[in-house]
Amino acid sequence: MEKRVTFKGWLLPMCLLMPQIIITAVFFFYPAGQAIYQSLFIPDPFGLSMQWVGLGNFEYLLGDSYYRASFVTTAVFSILVTVTSMGFALYLAVLADRLIKGSGIYRTLLIWPYAVAPAVAGVLWLFMFNTRVGVVSWYLGLLGYDWNHVLNEAEAMGLVVVASSWGRVSYNFLFFLAGLQAIPKSVIEAAAIDGARFWTRFRTIVFPLLSPTTFFLLVVNIVYAFFETFGVIHTITSGGPQQATTILVYKVFSDGFVSQDLGSSAAQSVILLVIVGALTIVQFKFIERRVHY
């Protein structure tokens, strides 16, 4: 039987819950409420006055071609970052899970990049691909390719995708490796004895048993691509060239802090919050049905 913990009164449970409730209220509910409130006004950049516009900020955003383009940019960027980081991490986890000499050292080295902050990762990749002093761009020039992510939109998008994925591979690697090590080796060995090759074993046994881990990482990586890649984009491209790398979260910053359009920025925050919430609900409602726990 499952052993359940019961409390004699309500004071101790409330004391245990209160720190989390306070943190959630102060750092989530209050800012979200302020964003919804300010999205209905056009505030003065100096905070001296506010003009009521109702849903005018939202109407302006939906009619703005640059804002609509940022939706497409965000979708492409999020898909590329999620697929790249998860796919490469799964490949590395499969290699690290195999019994090879020195595998512990390899696992430690693969985890290290997770300690690098997104902004620092952006600076590192920017130095390597700098058009004047970058090592990688210099070697590409020797091969006859003129790399210039400052002017080329495709190269800029590719660079921010690679930099964002590199910082996330280690996180995904940890969970995939833990999931692989939790799979009973006897099941895989039995399939091998029956004549199943490596790819067949992986496709029919390993990957289905990894579905809970994969689903969790899918949700987390999409949220990461929407929110936590701001530092990478800001340090490498600043949303350029021609707003080719301006995702939704960066446009919130650009309009709010650079252009001082606080009402529009608040409305964008509300829209972004709704989009991420809707995506999470869809994932749990439809994709989780294919997950085998």
Determine contact, residues 42/51, Cβ cutoff 8 Å. yes
Residue 269's pLDDT band (cuts 50, 70, 90): very high
The Cβ of residue 226 has, within 10 Å, a number of other Cβ atoms equal to 20
Q: Bridge-partner residues for 50, per DSSP?
A: 43
Give the pLDDT confidence of 64-104 residue by residue, as tens digits.
Answer: 999 999 999 999 999 999 999 999 999 988 888 876 666 67
Q: Find where tokens 């691509």 sit.
A: 225
Whole domain around residue 203: which residue ranges?
64-288
> Is position 10 within any domain?
no
Q: In 3-state terms, what secondary structure has residue 40? A: coil
> Is position 118 within any domain?
yes
> Is position 273 within any domain?
yes
* Predicted local distance difference test score (pLDDT) of residue 249: 93
> Is position 37 within any domain?
no
Determine contact, residues 150/132, Cβ cutoff 8 Å. no
* Predicted local distance difference test score (pLDDT) of residue 107: 72
Q: Does the structure show a pLDDT above 70 at 44?
A: yes
Residue 292's pLDDT band (cuts 50, 70, 90): low
d(CA 52, CA 40): 6
* Predicted local distance difference test score (pLDDT) of residue 290: 63
* Predicted local distance difference test score (pLDDT) of residue 268: 94
Q: Taken in order 127, 131, 133, 134, is the CA torsion positive or negative?
A: positive
* Predicted local distance difference test score (pLDDT) of residue 45: 72
Determine contact, residues 173/111, Cβ cutoff 8 Å. yes
What is the percent of the chain where pLDDT is above 90?
51
Among 102-106, 177-181, 191-195, 257-261, the least confident range: 102-106
Q: Does the structure show a pLDDT above 80 at 12?
A: yes
Residue 289's pLDDT band (cuts 50, 70, 90): low
Give the pLDDT confidence of 217-262 residue by residue, as tens digits.
Answer: 998 999 999 999 999 999 999 998 989 999 999 999 999 888 888 8
d(CA 39, CA 77): 26
* Predicted local distance difference test score (pLDDT) of residue 100: 62
Q: Does the structure show a pLDDT above 70 at 111?
A: yes
Mean pLDDT computed over 106-132: 87
> Is position 240 within any domain?
yes
CATH number of the domain to which 117 belongs: 1.10.3720.10
> Is position 146 within any domain?
yes
> Is position 17 within any domain?
no
- Across the chain, the runs of DSSP E, i.e. the strands, are 41-43, 50-52
| Number of domains present in the structure of the chain | 1
What is the percent of the chain where pLDDT is above 70?
94
> Is position 280 within any domain?
yes
Mean pLDDT computed over 163-167: 92
